[in-house]
Amino acid sequence: MRERINQGTNYYIISGKHTNPNDEFITLWRPDDAGYCYAKEHAGIYDGYEKGYHDTDIVVEASKLEPLFIKTENYHMLPNHNSVWKQLGYMLKRGKLHPLKNVKESKAH
């Protein structure tokens, strides 16, 4: 069994691995580790995160991610744009995510 970190705090998990550089939106984990999606309405909100499992992707407190969603015709999505990645402490460069230095990270770990 994996160790659960920061229970009592809600998190979204972003999949950097499943977000392609040309995707219009950032990929999120679905509830119960059951795949991936783009829409907030289909994304999982996790009570804490599992060390060694969830933290292999980008774990962000829900309260920090909520303001970055934009409303599309039917759903709320995260634009796959450097302005969003920068607020998360990353930069998309040459198709890969790079952590920014000297930026207060919004990652949970």
- Summarised one tens digit per residue, pLDDT across range 35-86 is 999 999 999 999 988 888 887 789 999 999 999 999 999 999 999 999 999 9
Query: Rounded to whole angstroms, how far apart are CA atoms 87 and 6?
Result: 21
Q: What are residue 7's phi and psi, to 5 degrees?
A: -60, 150
Residue 40 within any structural domain of the chain = yes
Residue 41 within any structural domain of the chain = yes
Helix (H) or strand (E) holding 97: strand 96-99
Query: Rounded to whole angstroms, how far apart are CA atoms 76 and 67?
Result: 10
pTM: 0.85
Strands 90-93 and 96-99: antiparallel
Residue 106 within any structural domain of the chain = no
One-letter amino acid for residue 28 of the chain? L
Residue 20 within any structural domain of the chain = yes
Query: Rounded to whole angstroms, how far apart are CA atoms 109 and 70?
Result: 26
Residue 105 within any structural domain of the chain = no
**Residue 10 sits in which domain range?**
4-99
- How many domains does one find in the chain? 1
Residue 104 within any structural domain of the chain = no
Share above pLDDT 90 across residues of the chain, in percent, rounded to a whole number: 62
Q: Share the mean pLDDT of the chain.
A: 88
